[in-house]
Structure formats: structure tokens, C-alpha cells
Amino acid sequence: MSLVIHLKSARRDWWKSHLQSLLPDIECVLWDEVTNPDAILYAVVWKPPAGGLATFKNLQCIVSVGAGIDHVLADKALPEDIPIIRTTGSDLTQRMREYVCLHVLLQHRQLMATFAAQRNQQWAPAITPTAADRTVGVMGLGKLGQSAAQSLKALGFKVVGWARSHHQIDGITCYTEAELSRFLQQAEILVCLLPLTDTTENILNKDLFQQLPPGAAIINAGRGEQLVEQDLIETLDSSQLSHATLDVFRTEPLPADHPFWTHPSITITPHIASLIDPESGGKEIARNLKAFIAGKTVEDLTNRKRGY
């Protein structure tokens, strides 16, 4: 049995060697090394070419190298019942917690304005409320979203959450799909950690921004396709939003001529919020795949029918 690897990474040869050492009973090959597609039973991928996975007729399981599976679901030629395993794990979850807490605190304490004042050699103290008087809204309450929300709660923020389905998280008021407006009206800092689906594409738009409290800030570490870019610029320019921190984009790397680069109220990070560490990520992938092959429970298992 064989496993195929597709990664847009300069370290793809390292990944192959690493996974082969962790899965000695399975032959690991890179995407462009496959000579017998019928021998491929497993695939470890990130953004494979359209229709590519469907060429492996005996495919039994797909592993996404990351928490998102939208890049797999985008392949409409893929049978609906093929199991898909997300890669989350403690390392990836911890990185997202760190990113969200860091950028929420930057917005909460108005440190972007402080940094700008420093560049202009200005002494400009800003008085801000304490965390208990600031409401942070988290959109998306999967494993990463719940972890981020709980970490913000531990810092003392009032946290509200929103997801398509009902969730219960201690100390956090959670809203469902029909209650979006009630959720947004409270969110002084909005964190988007939603998966990309037909219903979440373009969800960060002018209508949504107008429902936030005046001067709210947003942090998008979900997917670039969820943001209507021109709507963001216009809403920032109108001062309805005070700042946006963006880690994901429709085109990556972000083109050099993109207006986000130079907008004074936008902070850009290069898709690093929950960047997978190859060493620990490979171990998580191997652990999940071994459990799947052995018929054991895999927490992050899904398929196209079940979606997210």
C-alpha cells in the first residue's frame, strides 16, 4: 500500500522522509513520483490540483495538512464518502491561541496607535478599559475557535461566540446562525476562525461590518475568501472599523501592488497564525492515519457529506 504527498513546500522531500520514518509499513511517494495510481490508498495533501485526488481510484483516506479541509472539498470529482482527516493537534492549537490573544491584546490596548506615535516621536498615552469591560466575539467554534475563546476568557475578556450549530462553552455566551446580529452588536473586537463553506464565503462584508459597534476591530485568521476586500477598505475609511489584522488572503502571497500593504489601518501577517510545525505535525498525521487504518476513533475525521 502507498501514500501520496502533495505539499507546496520547499521541504517536501523532508516531509516524505519524515512520514516514511513514522509510517514504515507504508510506501510514501511525492505527487509527481506516482507511477501506479491504483496503489495509492492514502493521501497527505495541502491544496492538491483540481481533480487530482479523483485519479486515485482506490483512495481510502485523505489527510489535510492543516485544520481546514476546504481545499479538499473543492475537488468536486472526489467521491462524497471518502474520509478526510483534519490535522489540528496541540501544537497547531497552541499557535492559534497565541496569535489570537496577541492580536486581540494589541487592539484592546490600542498599541497600533502607540507604535505609530513612536514612529512620529510622539508621546501619546492611551487610556483603555480593562479586559472585563471589552467584549470579544469569536466566529467559528471548532477546536481552534473554542480554544481561542477560552484563552481570551482566561485573560479576563467578556467573550461571545458564534457558529452555525449550537455550542456550550463555560462562561461564554454562544449564538447560532439565526442570531448573528445579536452576536455582532456586542463584538468590539471580532475574531474570524470560520471554515470556508458556501455560507461563509464573503461573510465579512459591509453589511456585517455595519452591525458591529462603531470603531470595532477585526482579526481574520479563517480564510481569505471570507473577506470582501473592497468592503473592508471602505468601512475602515469611514471609521466604522478602526483596524483590521489579516493573516489570510484570496491570493497568497499577497501581490506587491495590493492596497492592503499600504493601508494605515491594516496589519498583515503572512498566514502564520497556526502554521504547522513539520516535526510535530508529521507525528500528528501519522498517529491519526495509524488509528484510522486500525479502525480506531479519529477525532478529526469527517467527509464531504458531513462537511465541517
Phi then psi dihedrals of residue 154, to 5 deg: -65, -25
Distance CA(171)–CA(162), nearest Å, equals 14
Secondary structure (3-state) at 93: helix
Distance CA(304)–CA(308), nearest Å, equals 8
- Residues constituting the chain: 308
Sign for the pseudo-dihedral over CA of 301, 159, 236, 242:
negative
Helix H segments across the chain? 12-22, 70-73, 89-108, 111-119, 143-154, 180-184, 206-210, 229-237, 278-293
Distance CA(188)–CA(191), nearest Å, equals 10
Distance CA(250)–CA(272), nearest Å, equals 15
Distance CA(45)–CA(42), nearest Å, equals 10
Q: Which of 292, 248, 308 is nearest to 63 (CA)?
A: 292
Secondary structure (3-state) at 210: helix
Cβ neighbours, 10 Å, residue 281? 20
- DSSP for residue 182: H
Distance CA(271)–CA(287), nearest Å, equals 25
Q: 141 is written with which cell numbers? A: 467554534
Which residue numbers are catalytic? 223, 271
